[in-house]
């Protein structure tokens, strides 16, 4: 019996090391077996005076806790491949193209979530000994950020179609329980959390993060391993996995307004350190190496902002909570290493990662400090909100996005850039609603930059197109209101608001429209690799993805006549929540 064996080994071999992290068992303190081992039997039976309490126990027998204990890695991969073929889902790009995609992943995405060691992963892929669940999840991300040439060599017509195919392969393997390795399951599902199939997709980022969190906690990754007999390399891997999930969980929770999947009071895992990432970040520069560690620190503040300001806590927050969180943000920025202080973007390896950290920082600042209402209809004053800091953060997001666009590195932006732009746009709309003419015009110009950023990001991260379309319609509604008010004002005031009542500038419209058309109509290069490598089901998935990308995710966003039609915009009541001011907005 598994638990009987753990109890016996926990007493007889209290310092037994964990040599295979996938073959270990976590026993939390509240579990009665933990109490029996640590508090009842150990004091009587353990002879060592240096007995240490532990929460992670090795599974000595090969038969415990494994779905397919007798299979070799090669056999497991063969079974996974056979299953995908049986489901008519097996799809592989040529080896050379796979190598190009993996190179893009490790070059441009690894610094954000440095979980895998490329020195181990790449040879395993070449030898066909790497989990297909993990590989397909990684390729889903790789086609998001790779260059257009690589995408077309792989015979994909757009990024969403490519993402869809690799996602469905990874999902099929997970749903069928075809991956026996616990760590591979966690890593694969975590990378699957970067999937977004549309606003109505139930199995979205938040869903997959819940799965990854649950699997990680079942192994005890949320607890310190210092007394568990785990080797340094495995302990570092666990911390990299845990903090990757932790960072994503906080960012996604803040972006969609859903609860976080983990609580700080349940966790005591050490903060991610440079030592944890150095082994898997050989050849990277200082800003790339330090980025994930600083994001781990940031996530603890970000999480506290969400739970304190937006959580349904029994204990009502006070102004002291707000001040404390503002101070924590200030302290975080003050002690940033020089390599991550933002000084502009020049290339993907010079300034991009400080820009991404700045986006996250200002995203957090806006969530904490944004004013609670554009019109305060209540007598009492809300304790939340620091307009000066929120407006400054929105301006900083806009400035960073301007630099990113100027340097043409939008394709390499992390996905949290989109909610950062979303929050900045919300502040700019607030300013348009509540400011005098000059302030409105400045806010509108900043909003254009943010919207151009979303237009650039939407090809890689489709949710950007959805946010963009939303704000195009919001601004058009506001301009319509301004135009109505202008008709009733004296002629002397009309010149102050003329620019605020004009449609979006043609240059902005044309640049975004042409970018979309080019991405949809660019011809594929000739290739000896024909479409017979794609099954009927795969081709159906691609066609479905193409249709969704064109009609829903990257629509004709500058045609406003039907902007509220379709499933994506079944939220006309949203505009009623804007509380657009009805007072004399042209008073000077």
- Give the end of a domain, one of 266, 292, 313: 266
- Give the end of a domain, one of 266, 288, 307: 266
Predicted local confidence at residue 487, as pLDDT: 67
Cβ(25)–Cβ(234) under 8 Å? Answer: no
Instruction: Give strand pairing partners of 57.
Output: 25
What's the domain range around 12?
2-58
Q: Are strands 24-26 and 56-58 parallel, antiparallel or unpaired?
A: antiparallel
Cβ(486)–Cβ(573) under 8 Å? Answer: no
Residues 38 and 152 in one domain: no
Residues 92 and 33 in one domain: no
Residues 111 and 181 in one domain: yes
Q: Which of 14-23, 107-116, 347-356, 448-457 has the lowest mean pLDDT?
A: 14-23
Instruction: Give strand pairing partners of 350.
Output: 347
Residue 242 covered by a domain: yes
Residue 179 covered by a domain: yes
The DSSP secondary structure of 324-364, one letter per residue, reads HHHHHHHHHHHT--GGGS-----BTTBBHHHHHHHHHHHHH
Residues 25 and 167 in one domain: no
Residue 36 covered by a domain: yes
- Give the end of a domain, one of 244, 266, 288: 266
Cβ(260)–Cβ(303) under 8 Å? Answer: yes
Residues 105 and 33 in one domain: no
Residues 104 and 28 in one domain: no
pLDDT tier at 581 (50, 70, 90 boundaries)?
A: very low
Residue 273 covered by a domain: no
Q: Which tokens hold the place of 272?
A: 């991610």
Predicted local confidence at residue 571, as pLDDT: 33
DSSP-based three-state secondary structure for 25 = strand
Helix axes 286-305 and 319-334, enclosed angle (nearest 10) = 180
Residues 17 and 135 in one domain: no
Residue 290 covered by a domain: no
Residues 467 and 568 in one domain: yes
pLDDT digits (tens, 9 = 90+) for 40-80: 666 665 555 555 667 777 776 554 444 445 688 999 999 99
Q: What are phi and psi of 462, to 5 degrees?
A: -55, -25
pLDDT tier at 396 (50, 70, 90 boundaries)?
A: very high
Residues 41 and 154 in one domain: no
Predicted local confidence at residue 157, as pLDDT: 85
- What number is the average pLDDT over the span 536-543? 59
pLDDT digits (tens, 9 = 90+) for 540-578: 655 555 555 444 443 333 333 333 333 333 333 333 444
Single out the residue of 504, 413, 419, 506 nearest to residue 459, CA to CA: 413
Residues 160 and 36 in one domain: no
Q: Which tokens hold the place of 534?
A: 């794609």
Residue 275 covered by a domain: no
Residues 227 and 358 in one domain: no
Predicted local confidence at residue 261, as pLDDT: 94
CA 164, 167, 173, 175 dihedral sign is: negative
Residue 500 covered by a domain: yes
Residues 180 and 261 in one domain: yes
Residue 131 covered by a domain: yes
Predicted local confidence at residue 41, as pLDDT: 65
pLDDT digits (tens, 9 = 90+) for 475-499: 788 777 767 766 665 554 444 444 4
Count: domains in the chain: 3
């Amino acid at each position: 019996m598994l638990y009987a064996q753990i109890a016996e080994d926990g007493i007889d071999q209290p310092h037994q090391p964990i040599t295979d992290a996938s073959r270990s068992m976590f026993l939390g303190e509240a579990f009665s077996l933990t109490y029996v081992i640590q508090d009842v039997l150990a004091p009587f039976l353990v002879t060592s005076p240096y007995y240490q309490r532990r929460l992670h126990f090795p599974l000595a027998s090969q038969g415990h806790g494994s779905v397919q204990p007798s299979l070799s890695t090669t056999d497991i991969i063969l079974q996974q491949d056979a299953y995908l073929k049986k489901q008519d889902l097996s799809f592989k790009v040529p080896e050379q193209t796979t190598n190009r995609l993996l190179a893009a992943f490790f070059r441009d995405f690894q610094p954000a979530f440095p979980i895998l060691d490329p020195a181990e992963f790449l040879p395993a892929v070449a030898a066909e000994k790497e989990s297909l669940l993990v590989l397909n999840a990684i390729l889903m991300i790789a086609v998001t950020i790779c260059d257009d040439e690589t995408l077309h060599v792989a015979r994909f017509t757009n990024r969403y179609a490519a993402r869809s195919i690799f996602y469905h392969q990874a999902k099929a393997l997970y749903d069928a329980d075809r991956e026996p390795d616990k760590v591979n399951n966690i890593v694969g599902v975590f990378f699957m959390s970067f999937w977004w199939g549309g606003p109505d997709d139930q199995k979205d980022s938040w869903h997959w993060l819940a799965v990854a969190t649950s699997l990680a906690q079942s192994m005890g990754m949320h607890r310190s391993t210092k007394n568990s007999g785990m080797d340094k390399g495995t302990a570092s891997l666990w911390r990299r996995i845990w903090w990757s999930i932790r960072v994503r969980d906080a960012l996604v929770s803040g972006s969609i307004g859903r609860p976080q999947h983990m609580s700080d009071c349940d966790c005591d895992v050490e903060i991610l350190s440079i030592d944890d990432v150095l082994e898997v970040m050989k050849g990277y520069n200082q800003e790339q190496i330090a980025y994930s560690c600083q994001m781990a620190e940031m996530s603890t503040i970000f999480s506290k902002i969400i739970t304190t300001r937006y959580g349904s806590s029994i204990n009502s927050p006070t102004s002291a909570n707000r001040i404390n969180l503002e101070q924590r943000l200030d302290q975080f920025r003050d002690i940033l290493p020089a390599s991550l202080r933002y000084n502009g973007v020049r290339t993907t390896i010079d300034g991009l990662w400080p820009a991404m950290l700045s986006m996250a920082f200002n995203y957090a600042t806006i969530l904490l400090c944004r004013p609670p209402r554009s019109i305060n209809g209540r007598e009492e004053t809300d304790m939340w909100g620091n307009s000066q800091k929120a407006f400054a953060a929105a301006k900083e997001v806009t400035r960073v996005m301007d630099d990113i666009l100027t340097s043409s590195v939008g394709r390499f932006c992390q996905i949290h850039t989109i909610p950062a732009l979303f929050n900045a746009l919300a502040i700019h709309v607030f300013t348009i609603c509540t400011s005098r003419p000059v302030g409105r015009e400045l806010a509108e110009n900043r909003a254009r930059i943010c919207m151009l950023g979303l237009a650039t990001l939407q090809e890689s991260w489709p949710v950007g197109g959805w946010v963009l379309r939303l704000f195009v319609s919001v601004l058009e509604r506001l301009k319509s209101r301004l135009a109505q008010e202008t008709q009733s004002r004296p002629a002397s005031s009309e010149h102050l608001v003329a620019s605020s009542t004009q449609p979006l500038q043609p240059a902005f419209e044309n640049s975004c429209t042409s970018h979309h058309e080019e991405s949809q109509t660019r011809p594929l290069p000739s290739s000896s690799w024909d479409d017979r490598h794609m099954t009927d089901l795969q081709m159906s998935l691609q066609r479905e993805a193409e249709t969704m990308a064109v009609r829903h995710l990257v629509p004709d966003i500058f045609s406003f006549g039907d902007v509220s039609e379709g499933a994506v915009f079944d939220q006309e009541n949203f505009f009623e929540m804007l509380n657009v001011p009805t007072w004399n907005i042209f008073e000077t």
